[in-house]
Structure 1
Amino acid sequence: MNTWIHRSFIMLSMLGIGLLSGASVYAHGGEDHGDAGKTPPPAIAITPRATAQSEDFELVAVLDESQPKNRRLLITVDRFKTNEPVSGAKLEIDAGGQNTSATEDNPGVYVASFAALNKLTAGSKLPLTISLETNDTSDLLSADLEIPAAPLNEAESRHRNTGYAAWGVGAAFILAAIIVLIARRRHPKKGAQ
Structure 2
Amino acid sequence: MTRHTLLFTLLFTPALAFAHGGEDHGDGAKPALSANVAPRAEAHTELFELVVTPTGDQLTVYLDRYASNEPVSGATVEIESGSWKAVAQAAGDGSYRAKAPQFAKPGQYPLVFTVQAGPDADLIETTLVVAEPAKPAAEVRAKGVGTMWWWVGGALAALGGVSLLLKRRTPRRSA
Q: Is the structural similarity TM-score above 0.5?
A: yes
- The share of aligned pairs that are identical, in percent, is 28
Higher strand share: 2
Equivalent residue runs for 1:52-71 within 5 Å? 52-65=43-56, 71=57
Of the candidates 79, 98, 101, which is equivalent to residue 65 of structure 2?
A: 79
1:47 aligns with 2:38: yes
Q: How many Å apart are 1:55 and its aligned residue?
A: 0.7
Residue 148 of structure 1 is matched in structure 2 by 131
Structure 2 unaligned blocks of 5 or more: 21-34
Cα contact 2:8–2:159 (8 A) shared by 1:
no
Residue 30 of structure 1 is matched in structure 2 by none
Q: Distance in 1 between matches of 2:6 and 2:96?
A: 72
Per-residue Cα deviation, 1:103-149 (whole angstroms, up to 9, x for no partner): 111263111113423xx32x422221111112212111112222232
Equivalent residue runs for 1:3-152 within 5 Å? 3-9=1-7, 15=12, 45-65=36-56, 71-106=57-92, 108-117=94-103, 120-121=104-105, 123-152=106-135
Partner of 1:101, secondary structure, is: strand
Deviates more, 1:74-83 or 1:141-150: 141-150
The letter of the residue matching 1:6 is H
Q: Distance in 1 between matches of 2:171 and 2:68?
A: 93
Deviates more, 1:132-141 or 1:170-179: 170-179
The letter of the residue matching 2:39 is P
Partner of 1:140, secondary structure, is: strand
Cα contact 2:58–2:101 (8 A) shared by 1:
no
Q: Distance in 1 between matches of 2:157 and 2:127?
A: 51
Q: How many Å apart are 1:167 and its aligned residue?
A: 3.9
Of the candidates 132, 139, 149, which is equivalent to residue 166 of structure 1?
A: 149
Q: Normalization by structure 1: what TM-score?
A: 0.64
Count of paired positions:
154
Query: Residues 10 and 177 (structure 1 numbering): CA distance in 2 closer, same or farther, change over 3 Å?
Result: same
Partner of 2:146, secondary structure, is: helix
Q: Distance in 2 between matches of 1:140 and 1:153?
A: 39
Partner of 1:91, secondary structure, is: strand
Cα contact 1:87–1:107 (8 A) shared by 2:
no
Q: Distance in 2 between matches of 1:178 and 1:189?
A: 14
Q: Normalization by structure 2: what TM-score?
A: 0.70
Deviates more, 1:51-60 or 1:128-137: 128-137
Query: Residues 107 and 157 (structure 1 numbering): CA distance in 2 closer, same or farther, change over 3 Å?
Result: closer
Q: Distance in 1 between matches of 2:136 and 2:111?
A: 31
